[in-house]
Structure 1
Amino acid sequence: MSFFRYETLKSLLFRLDPETAHTLAGIGLRALPWCPPAYEAMVDRYFVDHPFLRQNLWGRTFRNPVGLAAGFDKNGDFVRATPALGFGFTEVGTVTPRPQPGNPKPRLFRLVQDRSIQNAMGFNNKGAYHMAKRLRKLRFFDYPVGINVGKNKNTPEREAIRDYETLFKTFRDYGTYLVINISSPNTPGLRDLQNEAFIREVFRIGRSITDKPILLKIAPDMEAAQAVDLCGTAVEAGAAGIIATNTTVDYTLTPRAKDFGGISGALLTEKSRELFAAIGREFHDKTLLISVGGIDGPEEAYRRIRMGASLVQIYSLLIYEGPALVRRINEGLIRLARADGFAHISEAVGAEWKI
């Protein structure tokens, strides 16, 4: 991508079915680290490594605060290539205990006029054993990696806790942090697990198995008060952080939406920001927050940081703008935070509520 404009690549990929395009892009990313000149050229072009942005979180150095959200790298296949896209960290998955094919195709759609994506993938992945093998090969690759975990589709809700227990055991020694995903709209009944009893139990079990930080990822389609209560329950139960938000099932956002699956990208910006503001106001000084959902540039990323995010993530808008977006966000964060008089990006975290 450093050798030609991303717009050229996008024009070719957008002629293909979205899932086919994703598969082809994945093949390229898997091959990229094996071509050092291309890899190094992309890192030089897109990766922003500046003392102003570096943070030590959970005992690991994040060289910049912009990460790749879960869903892009479902099987941990592209981790070595992620720095070449400019990201300071990545989150792999969602991974389930057993392999599963996901929902019937077509299940991935571009909402081009809305600069958004709609997906009904359904946690398609090769399972925890495959993911663990991939991550084992990264043992000496010094780069922060989150592991997003979820239950299998055919696991009854009453037995869901066993799936998460299996995943905690499998990944107890892998990655930088783990994320409990009970907020995807594409696994039937999953969002029903967003309740106090389940959250307390899953964190109790997780904390008994691993010392890795465990985070909770929440959906955007709940009232702010309910979200704050659930996050409070998670923090009390030992959550090391909150990720907000997952995709939305608010199909009124565009007349072009399907009536199934979750929407991400620019359509989610306002909804995600509003919910994150409520969470940030309450928890910016109590736990680590990661904001994701419709972050389309440095101004939006900086707003989320001022609202309490130590880290931000993107995915859908990467597809529309390419890795130059990641570079632009990181460079813009330095400019915007310095303009506000901050000597380091961490000083801007939660600044909105400290006035």
Structure 2
Amino acid sequence: MNYSDIKKIFFKLNPENAHKIAEFGMKLSVKIPFVSDYLVNNFCFIDTKLSQNIFGINFLNPVGLAGGFDKNATMITPLSAMGFGFLEYGTLTPKPQGGNPKPRLFRLIEEKSLQNAMGFNNDGLDKIKARASKVYPFSIPIIANIGKNKITPNDMAIKDYEILVKGLDSCCDAFVINISSPNTPNLRDLQSESFINELFAALSSLTKKPLILKIAPDMSIDSAISLCSTAANAGFKGLIINNTSVDYSLTPKAKDFGGISGQLIKNKSKELFKEVAKELYGKAVLISCGGIDNGQDAYERIKMGASLVQIYTSFIYEGPSICKNINNQILNLALSEGYENISQAVGANLRR
């Protein structure tokens, strides 16, 4: 049975139930040796020309899984067998929380997109740390995506991030600071220059691991550039552009809550990344996320200045072969333009 057949079955189920079944299947797969071998042999694409050293960390390929898929660090090992170059777990919060009321996850099938209002549902620091500690250090970089609890007021938010960085410093390679989800009330209000400076000052004293800021796609280009410049000047080593969108004009099928991901935000994400990269390339590691579902998309973002790219929604729509396909396409495109390593293509459009 190929993935298109499996997807037909899964897409008849409630999206969250389908995700739980997929999670159960992945956790089961690592207990059956021949299944793990099958996944690696069929879905991993390995070539040293795709490897890069970023943040002093080795990345076998530039394609990662964005936060939100493996919220509770239960699927790190099976996901790595599907060819990802790096993984995020989370978003997690200090205390466990159930997230927003259901239904809160919706498929926009014709647009190959999703809309979610999950609200940082996760098992909390203690349980997730215990799971991550069992596998870390890992064969590929794993990154902790961290956020504040819903009940934590914004003027106390830094304390939540401090708790998470202290707790997870021994079981991740880097941190993604999530202040851009639309699903926690007032969280995006923290996307201010004063908060960014205060946040970095607090967290940099607690960890030597790279801190990466993830921004929303819905701010103006000038605001995004200003915020990212502030983050880079403060000391953030990386920037992810971007999180989900609350631009509900993208489709008449959109709900009036939650964030949209997938093909619907491809152009918005690409244009924002392009403009931010013009100003921030070389000042921080740039990571592009939003609507990427093939090697041409990924390679275009790389030439715009992305050292790494991330997928999420396209993994659900295209299945476990997507990393292999994207990496194969990236490599062929890079070689066709005379590059001996993918790192040489990073920012090529900006160096002309």
Counterpart residue number, 2:245 = 248
Question: SS where residue 175 of structure 1 aligns?
Answer: coil
Number of the residue aligned with 2:332: 335
Pairing 1:231–2:231 present: no
Map 1:127-276 to 2 at 5 A: 127-276=124-273
Letter of the aligned partner of 2:219 in structure 1?
Answer: M
Counterpart Cα distance in 2 of 1:350 and 1:164 = 32
Q: Partner amino acid for 1:248?
A: S
Task: Give the number of aligned pairs.
Answer: 352
Alignment match, 1:102: 99
Paired residue for 1:90, among 87, 90, 93? 87
CA contact (8 A) 2:61 2:85 kept: yes
CA deviations on 1:10-37 (whole Å, 9 max, x unpaired) are: 1111110000000110011111111111
Distance 1:140 1:149, change over 3 A: closer
Residue 71 of structure 1 aligns with which residue? 68
Helix, strand or coil at the partner of 2:144: strand
Please give the alpha-carbon distance, in whole angstroms, between the structure 1 residues aligned to 2:132 and 2:226.
34
The match for 1:15 is 12
1:111 paired with 2:104, answer no
Residues in 1 aligned to 2:3 and 2:135: alpha-carbon distance in whole angstroms: 28
SS in 2 for 1:179: strand
Cα contact 1:179–1:214 (8 A) shared by 2: yes
The equivalent residue for 1:61 is 58
User: Secondary structure in 2 aligned to 1:94?
Assistant: strand
Q: Measure how far apart 1:140 and its partner are.
A: 4.5
What letter matches 2:240 in structure 1?
I
Tell me, yes or no, if the aligned pair for 1:173 and 1:210 is still in contact at 8 Å. no
1:6 counterpart = 2:3: yes
Deviation string for 1:204-231 (max 9, x for gaps)?
1110000000000000001111101101
Amino acid corresponding to residue 132 of structure 1 in structure 2: K
Identity of aligned residues (%): 51
Structure 2 SS opposite 1:92: strand
In 2, the alpha carbon distance for the partners of 1:126 and 1:27 equals 16
Give the corresponding residue for 1:282: 279
1:117 and 1:263 in contact (8 A); partners too: yes
After the TM superposition, list the runs of 4 or more consecutive aligned residues in structure 1 that deviate by more than 3 angstroms.
Answer: none
Amino acid at match of 1:112: I
Q: Where does residue 349 of structure 2 map in the other structure?
A: 352
Query: TM-score, length-normalised on structure 1?
Result: 0.98
1:39 to 36, 41, 44: 36
- What letter is aligned with 2:23? G
Residue of structure 2 aligned with 1:322, choices 319, 332, 345: 319
Amino acid at match of 2:212: L
Conservation of the 8 A alpha-carbon contact between 2:136 and 2:172? no
- SS for the counterpart of 1:246 is coil
Q: Do 1:284 and 1:349's aligned partners in 2 also have CA atoms closer than 8 Å?
A: no
TM-score (norm 2): 0.99
Amino acid aligned to 1:118: Q
The answer (yes or no) to whether the contact 2:92–2:145 under 8 Å persists in 1 is yes
Alpha-carbon RMSD: 0.9
Cα drift, residue 315 of structure 1:
0.6
